[in-house]
Chains A and B, each alone.
Chain A
Amino acid sequence: MAKIVLTNAYVVFEGTYDFSDHISSITISTVHDVLDVTPVQSGIIYKEVIAGVGTNSVSFEFYQDFANNSVEEFFGGVPPYSSEPNRVGTKVSCVVRPINTVKSATNPEYQFEALVTEWTPINASVGSLSTITVNWPISGEIIKDITP
């Protein structure tokens, strides 16, 4: 039994772009629609509900970095002046693990495709770190992989 303090989470995009050291916060979320199935029946006073379609999403807080092959180039690339396409408005594959070690039952890997619906390349006030906070919908399911 071990509660977990996040100090070494693992976040990789498109298989090779490891931005773990440029991310300070992660939230992976699944929320199902709640459908009311309360019958019209005498004596029923409590609502009965079932789960509908699930909506998955992921939130990150990035540290902005304009260096070659770093955060800005990967998400907000400007071809042909950068080697990466502009991924805003597209889907990117992403894997996240709580700890940057081999995946296992106690260190599951969450695999999904995020739709990059928002991006704020410049976000800072004078003297502060430039950060980017995003909340992206996930297209389809989140696969939980615990196979080492």
Chain B
Amino acid sequence: MARIVLTNVEVKLGAVDLSDHVASVTLSSTYDVIETTAFAGGNVPAAAKTRQAGLVDNSVTLEFHQDFAAGEVEATVYPLLGGTVAMTVKPNTSAPDAVDNPRYDFTALVSEWTPLNGAVGELATASVTWPITGAIVKDVTP
């Protein structure tokens, strides 16, 4: 077991590897919480709420370093705005898929973009949170 400091994460949008232009990545799954509390129906009254999981809402949050060069961030993301893109994220891009280096595959909905964001003398960045449509597939097969 090893704790992990993220220094070499793989982030791909379609076939384009933008790992060297991503400073932060968060992959998130949150279930709707459905309350199922009912009358106890016996001698003991209901005393605590009961719940079960509903639908999963998946999303990915990225902080990009903006780059207007051909094949880089702006040229890749801008045409996708309002559409979907197949993405992969992996903790260590140099190592094969494995139990300790799982690859996450999913389809992100490119619902927001900030082509220009920065103050004078600062790096131009773009922080986005994109909903994922459908499942996140976790692949640990080498």
Residues 1-43 of chain A: 1 if any B CB is under 8 Å from the residue's CB, otherwise 0?
1111111010000000000000011111111111000100000
Stretch at the interface among B39-47, B65-73, B96-104: B65-73
Name the A residues within 8 Å of B70 (CB-CB). Answer: 105-106
Determine if B66 and A108 form an interchain contact, defined as CB atoms under 8 angstroms apart: no
Name the B residues within 8 Å of A46 (CB-CB). Answer: 55-56, 58, 133-135
How many residues of chain B get a CB closer than 8 Å to chain A's CBs? 38
Q: B123 in the interface, Cβ–Cβ < 8 Å?
A: yes
The A/B interface has a contact count, at CB < 8 Å, of 121
Determine if B119 and A2 form an interchain contact, defined as CB atoms under 8 angstroms apart: no
Name the A residues within 8 Å of B56 (CB-CB). Answer: 45-47
Contacts A2-B67, A30-B112 given; indicate if A144 touches B78 (C-beta within 8 A). yes
Determine if A3 and B115 form an interchain contact, defined as CB atoms under 8 angstroms apart: no
Determine if A108 and B123 form an interchain contact, defined as CB atoms under 8 angstroms apart: no
Stretch at the interface among A49-57, A84-92, A115-123: A49-57
SS of A interface (majority): strand
Determine if B124 and A6 form an interchain contact, defined as CB atoms under 8 angstroms apart: yes
Q: Measured between alpha carbons, how far is A26 from B55 in the docked complex, in Å?
A: 38
Q: Which residue of A lies closest to B78 (CB)?
A: A144
Q: Measured between alpha carbons, how far is A144 from B69 in the docked complex, in Å?
A: 15
Q: B83 in the interface, Cβ–Cβ < 8 Å?
A: yes
SS of B interface (majority): mixed
- Determine how close the nearest CB of chain A comes to the CB of B81; give it in whole angstroms: 6
Q: A98 in the interface, Cβ–Cβ < 8 Å?
A: yes
Determine if B72 and A48 form an interchain contact, defined as CB atoms under 8 angstroms apart: no
Q: B27 in the interface, Cβ–Cβ < 8 Å?
A: no
Q: B114 in the interface, Cβ–Cβ < 8 Å?
A: yes
- Determine how close the nearest CB of chain B comes to the CB of A7; give it in whole angstroms: 6
Q: Measured between alpha carbons, how far is A108 from B67 in the docked complex, in Å?
A: 11
Determine if A144 and B122 form an interchain contact, defined as CB atoms under 8 angstroms apart: no
- Determine how close the nearest CB of chain A comes to the CB of B123; give it in whole angstroms: 5
Residues 68-109 of chain A: 1 if any B CB is under 8 Å from the residue's CB, otherwise 0?
000000000000000000000000000010100000011110
- Footprint of A on B, CB under 8 Å? 21, 55-58, 65-70, 72, 74-75, 78, 81-83, 109-124, 131, 133-135
- Footprint of B on A, CB under 8 Å? 1-7, 9, 24-34, 38, 44-51, 54, 61, 96, 98, 105-108, 110, 144
17 more A-B residue pairs beyond the given contacts A27-B118, A96-B116, with a C-beta to C-beta distance below 8 A: A1-B67, A3-B66, A4-B68, A4-B124, A24-B120, A26-B116, A31-B111, A32-B81, A32-B112, A34-B131, A46-B134, A47-B55, A47-B57, A98-B116, A108-B115, A144-B78, A144-B115
